[in-house]
Amino acid sequence: MQQKLAGWKTKFLNIAGRAILAKACLNDIPTHIMQYIHLPKEITKKKIDQIQRNFIWGTTSAKWKLHLIKWDTLTKGKNNGGLGMQQSEPKNKALLTKLAWRAFTNPTSLWASLLINK
């Protein structure tokens, strides 16, 4: 995620542009890994969510900026006054639950038998 952010200059984007870019790209980068591996809270909350928060508000390692709205508010749905950002921890749990459900409903598939026997 840090490598992607290195190419995006936050000083050229306003907060709306950074929020759209974070929602469209930064949210999806760790999704593939989260489908198969349970990530600890130290990674989901303290790393992934923090990188997204800092990018939205324009905070860099050289310059800290004030976060004007709580992360909990930003992660609310658009109908509830938020931006619809996704928190990493519930997303990780949902993806792993989906994987478990697919293994439970179709235990004879090759990937499910590999997963169950592993």
Q: Alpha-carbon distance 100 to 20, whole Å? A: 31
Tens-level pLDDT at each residue, the chain (118 residues): 666 665 666 667 888 888 888 888 888 888 889 988 999 999 988 889 988 888 888 877 777 888 888 888 889 988 998 888 989 999 999 999 998 898 889 888 887 887 777 6
Instruction: Give residue 27's pLDDT.
Output: 83
**CA separation for the pair 105, 100 (Å, rounded):** 9
Categorise residue 82: left if φ over 0, alpha if ψ from -120 to 50, beta otherwise: beta
Q: Kindly report the pTM of this predicted structure.
A: 0.77
- The domain tally of the chain equals 1
Query: Domain residues for 10?
Result: 2-117
Q: Which residues contact 18 (CB under 8 A, 6 or more apart)?
A: 10, 55, 56, 57, 58
CB atoms within 10 A of CB 75: 17
Measured distance CA(104)–CA(118) in Å, rounded: 15
HSE of 31 in the Cβ direction (CA atoms, 13 Å)?
10
